[in-house]
Structures are given as C-alpha cells and as structure tokens.
C-alpha cells in the first residue's frame, strides 16, 4: 500500500513525505466517501475578540470524545467510523505514535485556506507528531521558521500523499495552506493526532 521510505524534507529532518502513500484508486474512494459521509461543519473562531467563520469546513473525530481548544473555542470529537480507526492504526505504526483522533479539513476550492500556525496546543503534549493525509486537489503547504514573517518553503501535497510532521516541527516551524485562486476542485486533509488526556 505504501512506499517504504519517505523523503526527508527540511534540513533538520522534521518532516517526512510519502508522495504515493495511497494508490490512486484508494485515494479516489476515500475522497468520495469522506465527501459524502462526514458531517462537515464551519465553526467560528475568535480572533482579536471577534468571531469569524473559518475559511474551510472541518470535522473532529476520535476513538472516544476528546476535547480540543483552538482559537478560543472548544471542540469535542465524535467517534470515528471503522475505516478511519483502521487508517489511524496503520498510520500509528508508521509514525510510532498512537493516534487517538483526527482533524479533517475540507477546502471546498482554492478560496478556502488555513493561516499560519503551529499545532502546539497543550492537549498535544510536549513534542507532537502529526500524520497528515491529503486527498483531492493538489495544494501548496507552506513553511516558515517560527518567528519569521516570510514563507521559506512550499511543498505541493498531492492526492494520496502522506506527510509526517515529527518532533520539533511544531516548535521550530509554522505552516499554512494559502489560497490558490485557480484551484476549483475540493481537497480533504486528515491530520491524525494524539491527544493527551487532561
Ligand atoms: O491542510 C493541510 O495540509 C494542513 C492542515 C493543518 O495544518 C492542520 O490541520 O493543522
Ligand atoms: Fe497544522
């Protein structure tokens, strides 16, 4: 199912990329299943005291209800379907971390995006490892060192690819998924995470 070795990205080795982790057929199947199965939502978050709907749709799932606080809002996971539980298990073996939850993002087209951030919430522990699976439209994943104001790297994430963000990634780097006006097709990204119970 997967390439055995990923490509090491970034000089410090804090990311590993598997361009064809899922076959074309399995990627197509998973994409259409998620598009129709998932109860996609567009919550609002608080930025400088003002509520804004996020510029994408999302869903938060896990092996049981986990609460995750993000931009002033609490999200509680719903129990994941069996096929996501199996995917989590397989990815846990590759990443060496027991994932118990997944944040699903749906970028309906190139107008949807995610701003600069690190996934460094306390619920993720000291050195979070995140497995990120991409499906659908190819979109650029951009990186900059924490504290910098300019993009340093851009990596197009293709249909069926897997990106492992390892220890150090969330403390040393920020990442984003910028708008791309010419993209008209949807993209789904699943970020598998390990939430440490409070
Ligand atoms: O869509 C992506 O590839 C990035 C998603 C992401 O950074 C996140 O869910 O924290
Ligand atoms: Fe992220």
pLDDT, tens only, 137-150: 999 999 999 999 99
Domains of the chain in start order, with CATH, are: 7-193 (2.60.120.590)
**Mean pLDDT across the stretch 20-32?**
98
ipTM of the predicted structure? 0.99
- Of the residues 175, 183, 192, 195, which should be mutated to test ligand 1's pocket, given the most ligand atoms within 8 Å of the CB? 175
pLDDT tens-digit series, residues 56-85: 999 999 999 998 887 777 889 999 999 999
| Pocket lining: 161 vs ligand 1, CB cutoff 6 Å | no
Least confident segment among 4-13, 53-62, 170-179, 181-190: 4-13
State in Å: Cα 82 to ligand 1 middle: 22
Q: What is the pLDDT averaged over residues 169-198?
A: 94
Nearest to 105 by CA among 139, 71, 128: 139
Q: Which residues contact 170 (CB under 8 A, 6 or more apart)?
A: 118, 119, 120, 124, 127, 128, 130
The answer to whether the beta carbons of residues 17 and 141 sit under 8 Å apart is: no
- C-alpha 36/C-alpha 33 separation (Å) is 5
């Amino acid at each position: 199912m997967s390439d055995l070795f990923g490509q090491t990205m970034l000089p410090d080795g804090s990311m590993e990329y598997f361009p064809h982790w899922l076959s074309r057929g399995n990627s197509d199947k998973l994409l259409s299943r998620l598009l129709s199965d998932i109860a996609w939502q567009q919550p609002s978050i608080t930025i400088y005291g003002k509520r804004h709907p996020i510029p994408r749709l999302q869903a938060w799932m896990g092996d049981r209800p986990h609460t995750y606080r993000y931009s002033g809002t609490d999200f509680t996971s719903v129990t994941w379907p069996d096929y996501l539980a199996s995917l989590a298990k397989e990815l846990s073996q590759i990443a060496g971390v027991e994932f118990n939850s997944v944040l699903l993002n749906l970028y309906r087209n190139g107008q949807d995006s995610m701003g600069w951030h690190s996934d460094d919430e306390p619920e993720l522990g000291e050195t979070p490892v995140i497995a990120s699976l991409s499906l659908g439209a190819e979109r650029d994943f951009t990186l900059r060192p924490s504290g910098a104001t300019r993009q340093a790297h851009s990596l197009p994430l293709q249909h069926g690819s897997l990106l492992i963000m390892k220890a150090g990634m969330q403390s040393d780097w920020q990442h984003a998924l910028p708008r791309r006006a010419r993209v008209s097709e949807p993209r789904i990204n699943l970020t598998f995470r390990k939430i440490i119970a409070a």
